[in-house]
A = this chain, B = another copy of it.
Amino acid sequence: MNDYSEKGLLPAGLADMLPPAARQESAISETLMRVFGANGYLQVTPPLIEFEEHLLEGSGAALASKMFRVMDPVSHRMMGIRTDITLQVARIATTRMKQDPRPLRLSYTGQVLRVHGSQLRPERQFAQAGVELIGSTETTADAELILLVREALIALEIEEFTLDLTLPNLVPTICKELGIDPDTAKSAREALDHKDAAELTKYDPELSSILTALLKAAGPASQALDALAEIDLPHQAGQQIEELRQLVIHLADAAPGLELTIDPGEYRGFEYQTGLSFTVFARNVRGELGRGGRYLLMDGEPASGFTLFLDSLMRAVPRHVTSDRLYVPFGTKLDQCQGLRKEGWKTIVGLSPESNVNDEAQRLHCSHVYHADGIQKIS
């Protein structure tokens, strides 16, 4: 009648999340939203699909090739399935919440879909959760976000993580101040990002010397800041480094154990960021846990935010084996069952008389059995 093996087949990059993973993902999302909420971030939930031109505006254009499109039979206009939630939250901040007082703190969690997976993230559907802090240019705003990432990861019991800080706009600023032409500036930026030391020597001597020094400066934050201080940078670039230094001082004061590195030339994946940005990694976990940084809303308002990827977080979160599945024999009164649930048990209630209660409990993968004279652990 039906080919069940085929029925189980899903398109590449899409998967059924089974127990206990599905529950774990939900729990991670709940924890994040609780931590974000406790820090004053208000949750918004944009729709999964909307008119494609709104999803592709501004920095969204970069995601065009990743977006599924569907025709809306109601409006006869094309709609897109979101590939990212940040831009939708930014849209909300500039439209329906334009009148709300700044700084505006918003949070979100939800699924995104992409036409193609990437090498590092082959999944075509995954959950994101994050925040946007809108309307402040203060370094304290960047610090708040980084400390919020830290608080969220600690709440998830992820203890060993690193924050890699970058200034995606640093090299473009230097080149502009040195009067370098745009093509050369672009190639210089790429060469530094690729850490191509040989290539970096091929530019105008002043630029080459700065780029080579920036390359060498990358590393643990305090060490990197010392190296950056030695570089003779043009004014605006120097200011960016000074702000970075202020941020690192602030963070070291607030959270002394926080592991920070600086890679001043990195910009891939931060194409629409306009200032301090960061990536979060966990020790021994494939893929980044999240990323964030400064950007501008469509109307020029300053903003900063970060997104955490729930699939990466699931690989980083410690697993706890629970033993709270309690078999409750057939015929047990509802009041009794509810009492056990209130105590924290997950009750599995018999639907028909058992020939052997303990065997039935074991068959249903329960850890404990409820008997009139008490709860018994299953060996």
Contacts and interface: CB of A to CB of B under 8 A. Distances in A.
Interface in A324-379: 325, 330, 333-334, 338, 341, 345-349, 351-352, 363-365
Interface stretch (A136-144, A223-231, A261-269, A273-281): A136-144
B47 A140 contact: no
A12 interface: yes
Given A2-B299, A22-B44, A346-B40, A50 B92 contact: no
Contacts of A48: 48, 111, 113, 125
Given A38-B346, A334-B147, A347-B38, A43 B68 contact: no
Interface in A217-269: 254-255
Contact of A43 (B26, B50, B58, B125): B26
A184 interface: no
A303 interface: no
A242 to B, nearest CB: 17
A291 interface: no
B12 A74 contact: yes
A51 interface: yes
Nearest to A326: B40
A98 interface: yes
Contacts of A158: none
Interface stretch (A101-109, A162-170, A175-183, A189-197): A101-109
Given A92-B16, A347-B40, A79 B11 contact: yes
Contacts of A68: 49, 70
A1 B298 contact: yes
Contacts of A346: 37-40
Contacts of A37: 23, 346
Contacts of A299: 1-2, 4
Q: How many copies does the complex hold?
A: 2
A204 interface: no
A74 B1 contact: no
Contacts of A49: 11, 14, 68, 113, 125
Contacts of A46: 16-17
A50 B68 CA distance: 13
A18 B141 contact: no
Contact of A91 (B8, B11, B147): B8
A315 interface: no
A39 B341 contact: yes
A371 B26 CA distance: 36
A209 to B, nearest CB: 37
Contact of A348 (B40, B44, B91, B330): B40
A75 interface: yes
Contact of A73 (B105, B116, B125): B116
Interface string A137-159: 01011001001000100000000
A257 to B, nearest CB: 12
Contact of A111 (B70, B111, B345): B111
Given A4-B95, A365-B101, A144 B349 contact: yes
Nearest to A19: B42
Interface of A: 1-2, 4-5, 7-23, 25-26, 30, 33, 37-40, 42-51, 54, 57-58, 68-70, 72-75, 77, 79, 81, 88, 91-92, 94-98, 101, 103, 105-106, 108-109, 111, 113, 115-116, 125, 136, 138, 140-141, 144, 147, 151, 254-255, 298-299, 325, 330, 333-334, 338, 341, 345-349, 351-352, 363-365
